Chains A and B, each alone.
Chain A
Amino acid sequence: MIPGLGALTQDTLWCFSQLKGTVEIGATEADIISTVEFNHTGELLATGDKGGRVVIFQREQESKNQVHRRGEYNVYSTFQSHEPEFDYLKSLEIEEKINKIRWLPQQNAAYFLLSTNDKTVKLWKVSERDKRPEGYNLKDEEGRLRDPATITTLRVPVLRPMDLMVEATPRRVFANAHTYHINSISVNSDYETYMSADDLRINLWNFEITNQSFNIVDIKPANMEELTEVITAAEFHPHHCNTFVYSSSKGTIRLCDMRASALCDRHTKFFEEPEDPSNRSFFSEIISSISDVKFSHSGRCIMTRDYLTVKVWDLNMENRPVETYQVHDYLRSKLCSLYENDCIFDKFECVWNGSDSVIMTGSYNNFFRMFDRNTKRDVTLEASRENSKPRAILKPRKVCVGGKRRKDEISVDSLDFSKKILHTAWHPSENIIAVAATNNLYIFQDKVN
Chain B
Amino acid sequence: MVGGLKRKHSDLEEEEEDEKWDWSPAGLRSYQQALLRISLDKVQRSLGPRAPSLRRHVLIHNTLQQLQAALCLTPAPALPPEPLFLGEEDFSLSATIGSILRELETSMDETEPPQNPAAPPSPQNEVLSQPDPVFLEALSSRYLGDSSLDDFFLDIDTSAVEKEPAVAPPEPPHNLFCAPGSWEWNELDHIMEIILGS
Taking beta carbons and an 8 Å cutoff, which residues of A are in contact with B?
A: 87, 89-95, 118, 175-177, 179-181, 199-200, 203, 211-215, 218, 222-225, 227-230, 232, 249, 262-263, 280-283, 285-286, 289, 333-342, 345, 413-418
Contacts of B76 in A (CB 8 A): none
Main secondary structure of the interface of B (DSSP, over half): loop
Contacts of B3 in A (CB 8 A): 413-414, 416
CA distance A224 to B100 in the complex (A): 11
On whether the beta carbons of A232 and B59 are closer than 8 Å, the reply is no
Of A90, A200, A418, most B-chain CB atoms within 10 Å = A90
CA distance A281 to B35 in the complex (A): 12
B10 interface residue, CB < 8 Å from A?
Answer: no
Residue B116 contacts which of A212, A280, A417, A418 (CB distance < 8 angstroms)? A212
B144 interface residue, CB < 8 Å from A?
Answer: no
- B1-45 interface bits toward A, Cβ cutoff 8 Å, 1 = contact, 0 = none: 111111111001001111111000000000010010010001000
Residue B63 contacts which of A90, A214, A218, A285 (CB distance < 8 angstroms)? A285
Of B51, B110, B122, most A-chain CB atoms within 10 Å = B51
On whether the beta carbons of B56 and A336 are closer than 8 Å, the reply is no
- 10 additional A-B pairs beyond A95-B50, A225-B102, A249-B58, beta carbons within 8 Å, are A87-B51, A177-B114, A179-B108, A215-B122, A285-B59, A333-B16, A336-B35, A345-B56, A413-B4, A417-B1
Residue B1 contacts which of A285, A334, A418 (CB distance < 8 angstroms)? A418
CA distance A413 to B7 in the complex (A): 12
CA distance A218 to B123 in the complex (A): 10
CA distance A341 to B4 in the complex (A): 11
Residue B109 contacts which of A176, A179, A339 (CB distance < 8 angstroms)? A179
CA distance A286 to B59 in the complex (A): 6
Main secondary structure of the interface of A (DSSP, over half): loop
Residue B101 contacts which of A93, A180, A227, A413 (CB distance < 8 angstroms)? A227
Per the 8 Å Cβ criterion, residues 111-142 of B in contact with A are 111-112, 114-120, 122-123, 126, 129
Of B1, B3, B104, B116, most A-chain CB atoms within 10 Å = B116
Contacts of A199 in B (CB 8 A): 54-55
On whether the beta carbons of B7 and A337 are closer than 8 Å, the reply is yes
On whether the beta carbons of A180 and B54 are closer than 8 Å, the reply is yes
On whether the beta carbons of B119 and A215 are closer than 8 Å, the reply is yes
Contacts A333-B17, A340-B38 known; A224 to B104 CB distance under 8 Å? yes
Distance from A318 Cβ to chain B, minimum over Cβ atoms (Å):
23
B98 interface residue, CB < 8 Å from A?
Answer: yes
Contacts of A181 in B (CB 8 A): 51, 53-54
CA distance A345 to B107 in the complex (A): 22
B74 interface residue, CB < 8 Å from A?
Answer: no
Distance from A347 Cβ to chain B, minimum over Cβ atoms (Å):
9
Of A175, A199, A337, most B-chain CB atoms within 10 Å = A337
On whether the beta carbons of A230 and B114 are closer than 8 Å, the reply is no
Residue A337 contacts which of B6, B21, B102 (CB distance < 8 angstroms)? B6
Residue B4 contacts which of A227, A285, A414 (CB distance < 8 angstroms)? A414
Contacts of A281 in B (CB 8 A): 19-21
When C-beta atoms are compared, the residue in chain B nearest to A204 turns out to be B119
Can you spell out 29 A-B residue pairs with CB atoms less than 8 angstroms apart? A87-B51, A89-B111, A89-B112, A92-B107, A92-B108, A175-B115, A177-B114, A177-B116, A179-B108, A179-B109, A215-B122, A222-B123, A224-B105, A225-B98, A225-B101, A229-B58, A232-B55, A249-B58, A263-B122, A282-B35, A334-B16, A336-B19, A336-B35, A337-B16, A339-B63, A345-B53, A414-B3, A415-B4, A417-B5
B67 interface residue, CB < 8 Å from A?
Answer: yes
Contacts of B108 in A (CB 8 A): 90, 92, 179-180
Please list the 7 inter-chain residue pairs (A to B) with the smallest Cβ-Cβ separation, ordered nearest first.
Answer: A215-B118, A224-B105, A337-B5, A199-B54, A177-B116, A176-B115, A413-B4
CA distance A335 to B5 in the complex (A): 11
On whether the beta carbons of B12 and A341 are closer than 8 Å, the reply is no
Contacts of B2 in A (CB 8 A): 416, 418
Distance from B187 Cβ to chain A, minimum over Cβ atoms (Å):
25
CA distance A440 to B66 in the complex (A): 40
Contacts A263-B120, A282-B63, A417-B5 known; A333 to B19 CB distance under 8 Å? yes
Contacts of B63 in A (CB 8 A): 282-283, 285-286, 339
Contacts of A337 in B (CB 8 A): 5-7, 12, 16
Residue B5 contacts which of A89, A180, A280, A341 (CB distance < 8 angstroms)? A341
CA distance A230 to B53 in the complex (A): 11
Contacts of B58 in A (CB 8 A): 227-230, 249
On whether the beta carbons of B54 and A262 are closer than 8 Å, the reply is no
On whether the beta carbons of B6 and A179 are closer than 8 Å, the reply is no
Contacts of B62 in A (CB 8 A): 228, 285
